[in-house]
């Protein structure tokens, strides 16, 4: 089942986020990892918030355990994020332009 994941990283910075993304071999507006449908990140009042849509919770959890957790720790992000899961009813893919 397709899921959305909201991750709240208290005390984290966008510079740390950029470091983690670079270590993952990803780049802004580029393709995501296998199983990922969409992704966005933004500064929040107390850190950063990241929201993803994944093809399944299992794919997200594998990526989180192998990549997000260890690389966030390497970048100096303290503690795991607050994670909220949602079952996705519907989503859109990239548009074809105007």
pTM higher than the cut 0.85: yes
Q: Identify the helix (H) or strand (E) that includes residue 21.
A: helix 14-23
Ordered structural domains, the chain, with CATH: 3-87 (3.30.70.100)
Distance, CA of 90 to CA of 94 (rounded, Å)? 14
Quick: pLDDT tens for 34-77: 999 999 999 999 999 999 999 999 999 999 999 999 999 999 99
Quick: pLDDT tens for 77-98: 998 999 999 999 999 988 877 6
Q: In what order do the strands lie in the sheet with 3-10?
A: 36-44, 47-54, 3-10, 82-87
């Amino acid at each position: 089942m397709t899921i959305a994941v909201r991750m709240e990283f208290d005390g984290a910075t966008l510079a740390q986020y950029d470091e983690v993304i670079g270590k993952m071999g990803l780049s802004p507006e580029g393709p995501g990892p296998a199983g990922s449908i969409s992704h966005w990140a933004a500064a929040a009042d107390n850190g950063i918030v990241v929201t993803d849509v994944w093809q399944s919770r299992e794919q997200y959890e594998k990526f989180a355990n192998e990549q997000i957790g260890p690389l966030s720790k390497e970048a100096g992000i303290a503690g795991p994020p607050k994670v909220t899961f949602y079952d996705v009813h519907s989503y859109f893919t990239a548009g074809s332009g105007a």
